[in-house]
Each structure stands twice: as C-alpha cells, then as structure tokens.
Amino acid sequence: MAVDKFETPLYSVAEASRYLGVSDSTFRAWAKGYMRRSAGRNEVRGEAIVTTISDQPRGSESIPFVGLAEGLVLAGIRKSGVPLQRIRPAIDRLKAEFGLDHVLASKQLYTDGAEVLYDFGQDLDEEQAVLRLVVVRKGQYVFTDIVQQYLRRIDFAPDGYARLIRLPGYERAEVVVSPNRGFGQPVFERGGARVEDALGMFWAGESLATVAEEYGIPEDQLEDALRVASRTAA
C-alpha cells in the first residue's frame, strides 16, 4: 500500500522524538506549538513548525514522514546552538522565497537555503543568531558542519522532498526510515529487517548470532541497535 508522506500519520510524538534523539517536550513544541508564561513578563507563544496531522488522539500517530524529516533538520539547527524562536522568522522567509509549505524537508533548503538565510541575516538585529547556521566557503554560502551533518542524512525523491532518512545516534548500524519501507518504521539498511523485529527476536531469548543469521545483519550492528534502544528506553 502506498503511503502519502505528507498526509499519512506514521509516528507518535514520543516515537519521533526518540528516533531523532530529542526530548519529548522539545518535539512536542515543534509539532504542537507552545505557550509560556512567567511572572512579570508577557506571554510567549510559538506556532507549530513541524507538519502534524491534526485531530489525532493524544499519544497516537500524528506525524507524517515529512514531519519527521522537518524534525531532523530542526534537531541540527538546535544542536548548532541557535534558539528556535530566533530561527522561526528565517524559516518563514525560506517558505516565502521558495513558495513551499514543507521547506525544511525540501532539497531546495540544501541547495539554496544557506544563501537565503545569509541574505536574510544581514537584515536582522539578531543577525548572528541566523548567521551561526551559515558559513562562506570558496565564495559559496553553505550550512555549518553541524547542520550539514543532519542534511546529509536525507535522500530526496524526484519531487524534491525527502524520501529516506538515516537516523542519528547509531555508530555502526545504518538504520533508515522511508514511507516506502516497513510503513515508515526504522529498518536496517543491511538486510532490510525492521529494527523492532530483529531486537524483538533477541529479547525473546535468541542469541545475537542467531538473529544475525536470520535477518542478515552483522552482529556489531545489532549490538549498536541494542545500545541505542537501551539508551532511549532509560
């Protein structure tokens, strides 16, 4: 069955945050927006910035594949140290410049976004917050190494939007998600087995050697996946 990467809810907020290595509260603010009040200060609101399928029961799948791709890029921006409230206006500029609703999941962000952000940063009072994402190399505007590392985890389809994500957090295993593989659930690139199925066999009492033979996954990659699963479950 074909999965619509824009409209089919595949991940809960908890799953998406776990796959991307960010906290539930962080991803929830990206997906649902936030409102903060503090004594003596004005109310601060932030609109949702990750694509979410509305009207889904709390805790159920509400994030489509394109929303997970947007979250991956935001995780890179967050890791670079730029506060999200300072990058939101820049993302609005990118959307207007490219005419795209899902610019963070678009190949155009990778190819042209750095130059747009650099130009936009020149006009802001807080330009350094935006320009921390962009550097100039060989006369070209490119994203900083941290953001580049996240962007390189995305493969793009002919329509210009993300089609596959290599999940962060793994050291030896290459674990990917794609709307066309395993209904968007994490799978081992080597062997193609769902991570949940392979680890479930081990947790049911089979040895790593048996699981490796059954699914065609090297033992060191299974060990790596177990490490990630144990860490995120803690």
**Crossing angle of helices 65-79 and 84-98, rounded to 10°:** 130
At residue 132, the pLDDT reads 85
CA distance 204 to 111: 46
Q: Are 42 and 100 in contact (CB under 8 A)?
A: no
Does a structural domain hold residue 176?
A: yes
The model's pTM:
0.91
At residue 73, the pLDDT reads 96
What is the count of structural domains for the chain?
Answer: 1
- Can you tell me the mean pLDDT for 7-16? 95
Two tokens, residue 189: 């690139």
At residue 42, the pLDDT reads 65
Whether the predicted pLDDT of 145 surpasses 60: yes
Domain containing residue 173: 169-234
Does a structural domain hold residue 31?
A: no
CATH number at residue 189: 1.10.10
- Can you tell me the mean pLDDT for 106-119? 93
Whether the predicted pLDDT of 41 surpasses 80: no
- Can you tell me the mean pLDDT for 101-124? 90
State pLDDT tens for residues 203-226.
999 999 999 999 999 999 999 999
Helix ranges (DSSP H) in 21-83: 24-32, 65-79
Q: Are 191 and 182 in contact (CB under 8 A)?
A: no
Consecutive H or E run containing 135: strand 134-137
At residue 37, the pLDDT reads 65
Nearest Cα neighbor of 87 from 129, 34, 143 is 129
State pLDDT tens for residues 150-184.
999 999 999 999 999 999 999 999 999 999 999 99
- CA 206-208-210 angle, 5° bins: 60
Two tokens, residue 13: 């907020």
Does a structural domain hold residue 14?
A: no
Does a structural domain hold residue 46?
A: no
Output the average pLDDT for the chain: 90
Q: Are 222 and 211 in contact (CB under 8 A)?
A: yes
Does a structural domain hold residue 8?
A: no
At residue 81, the pLDDT reads 87
Does a structural domain hold residue 229?
A: yes
Does a structural domain hold residue 34?
A: no
Higher pLDDT, 1 or 228: 228
Does a structural domain hold residue 23?
A: no
At residue 191, the pLDDT reads 84
Q: Are 31 and 62 in contact (CB under 8 A)?
A: yes
At residue 125, the pLDDT reads 67
Phi, psi angle pair for 149, to nearest 5°: -60, -35
Higher pLDDT, 55 or 153: 153
Could you give the count of Cα atoms lying within 13 Å of 141 in the half-sphere of its Cβ?
18
